[in-house]
Structure 1
Amino acid sequence: MSVPPKFAGLKLSASAPQESQHTLELYLDYVCPFSAKMFNTFYAMSPQIALQYGPRLQVLFRQHIQPWHPSSTLTHEAGVAVLRLAPEKFWDFSAALFKHQTEFFDVNVVNETRNSTYERLAKIAGSVGVDERKFLDLLRIPEVPDEDGHLNVGNQITNDLKWIIKTDRVIGVHVSPTVFFNGVEERSISSSFTAAQWGEWLAQNVV
């Protein structure tokens, strides 16, 4: 699947030409332990993958919200804010967020306000070089109605988040992580894949 230019930061190999590429899509949720396991293994290999496969493979991080964990939405909003402000930092931000993911599990957010969660996410964004003030400006929810008295005002990245959710729904992804290869679900890939298993799979399929 292609992505709009404004979401180019989703690509690990964003500069590679499209016409000769295989496409590997990783549907991941920031508060899913299995997504973290897959991401951490794969991302650690990314320099080697880029060196070995170069323009033959593009990798997409597909943000996949799991709504039974309310903080999933908030963490993915944070990812969208990074895409808006510093798309080149998206994968680094994702790596940092996965390292802190337990801080955003249900028990650790249940008694804090939505804007307070955004403030904690801003610190993580700042740790990879994203402007924290601009980040929070995109995410904070107003505490008063807007000029027309509306209460369900959302934030400045709500429409971008809707696009991301729509891409999931169109192809019916449910569990996380889910992997697609060249537009087809690749069920042989597991969150428990080791670096060696990833290497073997890539060697057999990216030809």
Structure 2
Amino acid sequence: MALQPSLRPLLIAGRADAPHTLDIFLDYVCPFSGKISVTIDKILKPWVETGGPYDGKIKIIFRNQVQPWHGSSTFTHEAGLAVVRITPEKFWPFSRLLFHRQGDYYDIPTSTLTPVQIREKLASLYAESGVTREEVEAFKDLLTNKSTPNGGVSVTDDLKYTIKFSRQNGVHVSPSVLWDGLLANEISSSWGEPEWKLFLAQKVTV
């Protein structure tokens, strides 16, 4: 599947020219997305990267799946997209850290926080990713409302792209997975190595 140039870092594993594509739609404040993020890290990424059995055959693309019934979902995805702009190589490590700490951004913990406070909290999390003070300040700047009264922040257009991509593909919840552009509804966040091994053995044709 395609990615606009500014979002190429969302390709988190595999070669860009790999013929098969796993588009994995995840929400940072969804516990099931958090669960499958561990599977991506421990099972799928090693399989598609250099030396793995699917090296050169499969690429994995992270798809931001904003779920607006979770109040902080938009803010967490803005944060991920800001990292893409500033330190693209840290996008997946930051995402994994955010998934690990996702409980801090659930509905009740954030219910008494303003948008500015939530973004400050995300900036502190970004600072834990081994970035410089200047990079943290750049992160904060990207997440500051500074245009028209209803114009959003500097990564709003990127956020719109990811939401439109989900909508046009009929993706409504996370985690959802596309295999070569089609929804693979059988895939579950509970899948481990045996289920993924069987699925890929049946699907990979190159």
TM-score normalized with structure 1 length: 0.90
Which stretch of the first structure deviates more once superposed, 46-55 or 109-118?
46-55
Contact 2:33–2:175 (8 Å) recurs in 1? yes
Q: Which structure 2 residues correspond to residues 112-127 of structure 1 after superposition, within 5 A?
A: 112-127=113-128
Which stretch of the first structure deviates more once superposed, 43-52 or 129-138?
43-52
Distance in 1, matches of 2:121 and 2:197, equals 35
Cα 1:125–1:206, aligned 2, differ >3 Å: closer, same or farther?
A: farther
Q: Which structure 2 residues correspond to residues 1-207 of structure 1 after superposition, within 5 A?
A: 1-13=1-13, 16-18=15-17, 20-45=18-43, 46-50=45-49, 51-130=52-131, 131-141=135-145, 150-207=148-205
Contact 1:115–1:141 (8 Å) recurs in 2? no
Distance in 2, matches of 1:35 and 1:8, equals 21
- Displacement, 1:170? 1.0
| Deviations, residues 58-94 of structure 1 (Å, cap 9, x unaligned) | 1001000000111000000001101111122111111
Contact 1:42–1:195 (8 Å) recurs in 2? no
- Displacement, 1:37? 0.8
- Displacement, 1:17? 4.4
Contact 1:7–1:87 (8 Å) recurs in 2? no
Look up the equivalent residue of 2:9 and give its one-letter code: G
Cα RMSD of the aligned pairs, angstroms, is: 1.6
Cα 1:48–1:171, aligned 2, differ >3 Å: closer, same or farther?
A: closer
Q: How many residue pairs align between the two structures?
A: 199
For structure 1, the 5+ residue unaligned runs are none
Contact 2:144–2:153 (8 Å) recurs in 1? yes
Over the matched positions of the two proteins, sequence identity in percent amounts to: 41
Look up the equivalent residue of 1:53 and give its one-letter code: Y
